[in-house]
Structure 1
Amino acid sequence: MITVDGVEVWLAPPDGSHVNFTNPQRDIATVTASYCAFGIALTVPVILGPSLYATHYIRGKWHIQHYTIILASILTLASGILTFICLDKGVLGVHVWEMSMDDAIWEKKLILASILLGILGAALARLGLCIIYGKIADALWHRRVIRGAVVPIIVPSIAVWFGLLFACRPVEAIWNLRISTEAHCINSYPFHILHAIVVCLVDLIFIFLTIDITLRLQMPWKTKVVLVGVFSTGLLTLGATVARLAILITGLKKPDTTFALAQITVCLIFEVSFAIICGSLPDFRKFIERFILDVSEISQPIMDRGSGGLALHTIGGTPMNGGPPPSETGYHGSTEVLIAA
């Protein structure tokens, strides 16, 4: 047992470091990133909700990717809540030698649960993207590459999930630091690094395929630029994955693995959130267009009345003179094929 100033700790502080258990030094970058990750996790339902509304009530379509994205958003929100609890308790961003053994065990347990939720959420979100990209792919080799990407998404995720959960014997030693020195444990870092490398490659494949598919479509360049911009949010997912990989590689040389795992959790929340947002933006765009259309239909009778005329519309927005509804002008053709996926 290691004791510092009468407090039981898991690791002894480095030579020359000053320990303050009452007001421990917190890593500002980790704390700031954690708050941002929690904010992004809260933003996901704001975008996903209207997107699902547009899918069900406007398009009248519902596919398996919507179930995967919903599950991924629930897992991500749960992971974000656990991270926020660690922030609220003041243990996130603190080195393990500046907290008591009980606080370290408590943080390790929550961080472990958050990582396990994040890994599942990341796999589900990327599977949803595979389905979406598979529907808009026009070339056979596009579809084959997308189907092949399913394997590197599922297999490494399962390996790292079980490798992390059953890294020690007994299993309790994973979070119970008091018995971790006596337990038989394997190094789970190689699983994490392998998972991060594989999903980086998958994200790169998604980005290149999206650009290639969009450029092949027969539509105005202005529309192509908009679509590339929508799907380029996948770059944010890639950036979060690269950051997670960098933290894992540098964390191999540091004794405080709990500190590095907390940063990995934050990166996972960013990853899943950006992946969900990327998959939800097309239908979210449809929701915004319908909302603007409804607002214009409400204001149109007032404008017509002011100019001496009166235009009557039904509740669905169809003019009673038999003309085509405004919703049937624009947003169709090849753009609709792409966005409706």
Structure 2
Amino acid sequence: MALNETGVIAPPAGVTPDFAHPTRHLHTANRVVVIVGTTASAISLLVRIYSRLVVVKKWMLDDTVLVLSWMFAAITQSVLLYGYTHAGLGIHQWELTVEDYNKSLKVLMAGAVMYIPALGLSKIGLIILYYRLSDMQRSWRIILWSFTIFVISYMVILECLFLFGCNPIQKAWDVAIEGQCISRASIFLAGTCASIFIDIVLVIAPLPVVVGLNMAPKKRVGVACMFGLGGLSLVTSCMRLASVVPMLHTNDESYRLGAMVLWM
């Protein structure tokens, strides 16, 4: 049988691959999340832009950073949506031809490279907001600048691992090429753990600032709750971690990706 008529890996005993109608893991859920999430975030961003430009009439640096973050996120979701529909994400590797699997690797690479700045810039935008609301004590400025450097380093390192994690580089999207690659699951695991650490710090860090703000107790609680929304990012990071761990112990990566990218 020709190479493109067989799966990337052998199916389990007793399983007959169905290339015409393969099993799709969380296919509908992923598409719904992409469409609903992108639409909701776009509406929220437009409300923020209107508020800044028309109501407050004061555009800040964190607004620019968050717009850039949304743009990267929208590109990421568009790439993943294509991957669910046309590139085999969430499909067993024994039901993917080599050509289709290579296509899924390209989609995964593109999605990861776009997702990293989307995630990192959203965190930097929050740090800038903290910087503006703080009392500008020297120690607090040092902490925020140090953490900003940490987030930027996190972004650069992950980008390099995804872009240059294979030798030769083309091995990352072509399984027919001989070579070696750093485990993609390990990169996702390291990146997710770092993201969880950053999210925890960003949830806890503003508490001393909020306590020190000169405002009514009810308003202070409201501000604290607003910052607490950053905890939503922590929740998605934890869910992503739970979906990444099984990828460390499987050779059916494309299928497992269906669960992981649900939380990207």
Which residue of 2 is the match for residue 94 of structure 1? 91
Say which SS state the counterpart of residue 6 (structure 2) adopts.
strand
**Alpha-carbon shift at residue 126 of structure 1 (Å):** 1.0
Per-residue Cα deviation, 1:137-190 (whole angstroms, up to 9, x for no partner): 2363443332221122111221111111111222222111222xx123233444
Matched, 1:171 2:153: no
Q: How far apart in 1 are the matches of 2:2 and 2:234?
A: 40
Which of structures 1 and 2 has the bigger CA Rg? 1
Which residue of 2 is the match for residue 122 of structure 1? 119
Matched, 1:200 2:204: no
Which residue of 1 is the match for residue 105 of structure 2? 108
Matched, 1:57 2:54: yes
Say which SS state the counterpart of residue 27 (structure 1) adopts.
coil
Q: How far apart in 1 are the matches of 2:61 and 2:74?
A: 20
- TM-score of the aligned structures, taking structure 1 as reference length: 0.70
Of residues 134, 142, 154 in structure 2, which corresponds to 1:144?
142
Q: How far apart in 1 are the matches of 2:184 and 2:96?
A: 23
Which residue of 2 is the match for residue 153 of structure 1? 151
Say which SS state the counterpart of residue 17 (structure 1) adopts.
coil
1:156-235 equivalence runs, <5 A: 156-179=154-177, 182-235=178-231
Matched, 1:40 2:41: no
**Alpha-carbon shift at residue 2 of structure 1 (Å):** 8.8
Q: Look up the equivalent residue of 2:23 and give its one-letter code.
A: Q
Per-residue Cα deviation, 1:88-115 (whole angstroms, up to 9, x for no partner): 3373321111122222111221121011
Per-residue Cα deviation, 1:28-81 (whole angstroms, up to 9, x for no partner): 3x6414421442122212111121121123222222222221111111111111
1:3-42 equivalence runs, <5 A: 7-28=5-26, 31-42=28-39
**Alpha-carbon shift at residue 136 of structure 1 (Å):** 0.9
Say which SS state the counterpart of residue 247 (structure 1) adopts.
helix
1:282-321 equivalence runs, <5 A: none
Q: Look up the equivalent residue of 2:90 and give its one-letter code.
A: G
Whether contact under 8 Å (1:114, 1:265) holds in the other structure is no
Q: How far apart in 1 are the matches of 2:109 and 2:124?
A: 23
Which consecutive residues of structure 2, in runs of 5 or more, have no partner in the other structure? none
Q: Look up the equivalent residue of 1:88 and give its one-letter code.
A: T
Which consecutive residues of structure 1, in runs of 5 or more, have no partner in the other structure? 269-341
Q: Look up the equivalent residue of 2:134 and give its one-letter code.
A: A
Q: Look up the equivalent residue of 2:173 and give its one-letter code.
A: W
Q: How far apart in 2 are the matches of 1:88 and 1:185?
A: 26
Matched, 1:238 2:234: yes
Identity value in percent? 21
Q: How many residues matched?
A: 263
Cα 1:176/1:214, change in 2 over 3 Å: same
- TM-score of the aligned structures, taking structure 2 as reference length: 0.89
Cα 1:117/1:265, change in 2 over 3 Å: farther
Whether contact under 8 Å (1:2, 1:9) holds in the other structure is no
Q: Look up the equivalent residue of 1:7 and give its one-letter code.
A: E
Cα 1:190/1:92, change in 2 over 3 Å: closer
Which residue of 2 is the match for residue 282 of structure 1? none
**Alpha-carbon shift at residue 236 of structure 1 (Å):** 1.0
**Alpha-carbon shift at residue 266 of structure 1 (Å):** 3.2
Q: Look up the equivalent residue of 2:239 and give its one-letter code.
A: A
Say which SS state the counterpart of residue 94 (structure 1) adopts.
coil
Q: How far apart in 1 are the matches of 2:49 and 2:227?
A: 18
Q: Look up the equivalent residue of 1:196 and give its one-letter code.
A: T
Say which SS state the counterpart of residue 120 (structure 1) adopts.
helix
Say which SS state the counterpart of residue 11 (structure 1) adopts.
coil
Cα 1:17/1:216, change in 2 over 3 Å: farther
Runs of 4+ in 1 over 6 A off after TM superposition: none
Say which SS state the counterpart of residue 13 (structure 2) adopts.
coil
Per-residue Cα deviation, 1:201-252 (whole angstroms, up to 9, x for no partner): 1111111123332233233333233222222211110111122222222211
Matched, 1:258 2:254: yes
Which residue of 2 is the match for residue 307 of structure 1? none
